[in-house]
Amino acid sequence: MTEKLLFADIDEPGLHTLGVYERRGGYASLRKAFSMTPEDVLAELEASGLRGRGGAGFQMGKKVSFLPKGSMEKYLVCNADESEPGTFKDRELMQKSPHMLIEGIVIASYAAGAQRSFIYIRGEYVLQADVLDAALAEAREAGFIGEDILGSRHSLSLVLHRGAGAYICGEETALLDSLEGKRGNPRLKPPFPANQGLYQGPTLINNVETLSTVPVIIRMGGAEYAKLGAESSTGTKLVSVSGHVQRPGNYEVVLGTPSREIIYGLAGGPPEGREVKCWFPGGSSAPVLTAEHLDVSYDFDSLAKAGSMLGSGAIIVVDDSTPILDVALKVAKFYQHESCGKCTPCREGTNWTVKMLQRIELGEATPMDLEIMASVQDHIMGNCLCVLGDAMAMPISSIISHFKEELEAHMERARLRPAETLVSA
């Protein structure tokens, strides 16, 4: 089921400009928020049940409430790194509706008591950063950012910071180190950013889509927003659909919509004559599901129950023309390349997994190698400083368990093929 809240005006020409955004009702939520106390704004966010849209799905209102009270320097950081393969929804939001994000940041900073904020945008998003830069200049000029915003006595600075193309800098603590000018390595947690984040100060970190939803919640009221969606998965979600579908793109769906309706109904399903072989429901780090799972409701809990996760909301569809080994190698090589190397299970485990998959490809593996590879994944999961290691181990484990027979058949075929016909991917 579609319902347009974030995408209501997304294709309105000129929406990225302040004039058009205001004509479509933009910044009315900010005025409404300033007529309320910060505590009441926070209560609306909590009532909405909004869960983070960046990957972990933690309740936003709860996260804001974790920030210590008092007059210390607090920070708000918007995670616009959008580096999870298959995810491109934040890009469309920032490019077409940058003021919605800015409005969300100002309202959230008011609820959190933060006076300094940052948007950390991935380096490759040059166009989106330029659009945001122009929107920030307009917002400053109009008094939506700066000192004593609209006479509310709330002040906020907002700095746009461009990253340099490392996947790990999407992980919130690596992002904070990078923002501080250091190499982007994850930090040990606890302490969590809500207590000790940027420059050791209390910090609220949220994804672009999460923050862009804040003006919608303030306009509708938290309780009304919570009526949409499934239990504990309230509201709508932007879903990026890619891979073997006829109409790839971003779609806004009510959480709880059957996955089949998204993959076939909205995205047109695989090309004529092809079937879904497997699909990643939440970016390449989510365990794969198969055609058997197409009727699973697309929400946090149902996907978890089915053995996967909603993650960033990126559905990648793989059809039956693709060897599963190619999928596994593509995924494993990505995480091997992006591992920061700080902890052994992730650094060595991603490396070993790529090597073992290549052994299968080259006909050098035995069925025992599959068992070893599965146990390597078990040793990575839960044993790393951040979840990048798990981000490879989860999909690889699921591929081994769903497609063991195909992998074994591949091994056997490769073993019997003349050596000169085998090429490593």
Work out whether the CA dihedral 258, 259, 263, 266 comes out positive or negative.
positive
CA distance 345 to 191: 22
Determine, following the binding rule CB under 6 A, whether residue 170 of this chain makes contact with ligand FMN: yes
Does residue 79 interact with ligand FMN by CB under 6 A?
yes
Minimum distance from CB of 295 to ligand FMN (Å)? 27
The C-alpha atoms of residue 259 and residue 271 are separated, in whole angstroms, by 17
Among 82, 252, 261, 299, binds ligand FMN (CB under 6 A): 82
| Closer residue to ligand SF4 (CB): 128 or 285 | 285
Query: In this complex, which beta carbon is closest to ligand FMN, that of residue 56 or of residue 137?
Result: 56
The C-alpha atoms of residue 301 and residue 315 are separated, in whole angstroms, by: 16
State which residue, 255 or 346, has the beta carbon closest to ligand SF4. 346
With b meaning 16 or more CB within 10 Å and e meaning fewer, what string describes 296-320? Answer: bbbbbbbbeebbbbbbbbbbbbbbe
* Closer CB to ligand SF4, 344 or 401, in the complex: 344
User: Residue 324: which residues within 8 A CB-CB, separation 6 or more?
Assistant: 277, 278, 399, 403, 406, 407, 410
Supply the minimum distance, in Å, between the C-beta of residue 295 and ligand SF4.
34
Of 83 and 398, CB closest to ligand FMN: 83
Picked from ligand SF4, ligand FMN, none, the partner binding residue 347 (CB below 5 to 8 A depending on kind) is ligand SF4
Written as six digits, the tokens of 41 are: 């704004």
When the beta carbons of 41 and 340 are compared against ligand SF4, the nearer one is 340
Q: Does 164 bind ligand FMN (CB under 6 A)?
A: no
Whether 100 and 31 have beta carbons less than 8 Å apart is answered as: no
Interface with ligand SF4 (CB under 6 A):
168, 186, 339-343, 346-347, 384-386, 388-389
- Select 233 or 339, whichever has its Cβ closest to ligand SF4: 339
Give a three-class secondary structure readout of 138-191: HHHHCCCCECCHHHCCCCEEEEEEECCCCHHHHCHHHHHHHHCCCCCCCCCCCC
Per partner kind, with CB cut-offs from 5 to 8 A, the member of ligand FMN, ligand SF4, none near residue 341 is ligand SF4
Query: Smallest distance from the beta carbon of 90 to ligand FMN, in angstroms?
Result: 7
CB 108 within 8 A of CB 149: no
CA proximity to 113, closest of 53, 39, 48, 175: 39
CA distance 336 to 348: 9
Q: How far is the CB of 56 from ligand SF4 (least distance, A)?
A: 14
Residue 228's alpha-carbon distances to 50, 79, 101, 221, 262, in angstroms, are: 11, 25, 21, 12, 17
At 126, list the tokens: 């040059």
Among candidates 322, 253, 316, which has minimal Cα distance to 280? 316
Min separation Cβ 81 and ligand FMN, Å: 4
343, containing H or E segment: none
Residue nearer to ligand SF4 on the CB measure, 118 or 335: 335
Using rule CB under 6 A, residue 411 touches ligand FMN: no
- Judged by CB under 6 A, which stretch of 15-23, 324-332, 386-394, 401-409 contacts ligand FMN? 386-394
Q: Is 48 helix (H, G, I), strand (E, B) or coil?
A: helix
Q: Which does 104 bind (CB under 5 to 8 A by kind): ligand SF4, ligand FMN, none?
A: none
Residue 270: name its binding partner from ligand SF4, ligand FMN, none (Cβ under 5 to 8 Å by kind). Answer: none
Q: Assign 41 to helix, strand or coil.
A: helix
Residues 37-76 contacting ligand FMN, CB under 6 A: 52-56, 58
> How far apart, in whole angstroms, are the C-alpha atoms of residue 93 and residue 36?
27
Nearer to ligand FMN (CB atom), residue 197 or residue 363:
197
- Within 199-238, the residues that bind ligand FMN by CB under 6 A are 205-207, 210
384 binds, among ligand FMN, ligand SF4, none (CB under 5 to 8 A by kind): ligand SF4
* Binding residues for ligand FMN (CB under 6 A): 52-56, 58, 79, 81-84, 168, 170-172, 205-207, 210, 386-388, 391
